Amino acid sequence: MGSNQLYSLTWGEFGTSLVSAVQLLRCHGDLVDVTLAAGGRSFPAHKIVLCAASPFLLNLLKVRKRFYEVFKMLYGYVIGASLI
């Protein structure tokens, strides 16, 4: 009892596997959670990939989420629901 043993589990190919998995998800259009649009064209994307690639996109998506929550709350109030 009272043993303070530490265990470590590593996956040597995790980075490579992660990249391959994300590429497969993108190719199949699976688990996309945002749509990017510009110049009349749009395409689905994964927020986590965009945020990992760019601090600007991370901030933009965080601000957008807060805006959405406020808008949803105000819309609920406008249609007669209680303000949450």
- Whether residue 83 is contained in a domain is answered as no
Number of domains, the chain: 1
Tens digits of residue pLDDT in 12-66: 888 889 889 988 998 898 999 888 888 888 888 898 998 899 898 888 888 877 7
- Whether residue 8 is contained in a domain is answered as no
Residue 32 tokens read as 């996309």
- Whether residue 34 is contained in a domain is answered as yes
* Full residue range of the structural domain in which residue 29 is found: 14-78
The secondary structure of 45-79 as a DSSP string is: E-HHHHHHH-HHHHHHHHHHHHHHHHHHHHHHHHT
- Whether residue 5 is contained in a domain is answered as no
82 pLDDT more than 60: no
Is this prediction's pTM over 0.85? no
- Whether residue 30 is contained in a domain is answered as yes
CATH of the domain at 53: 3.30.710.10
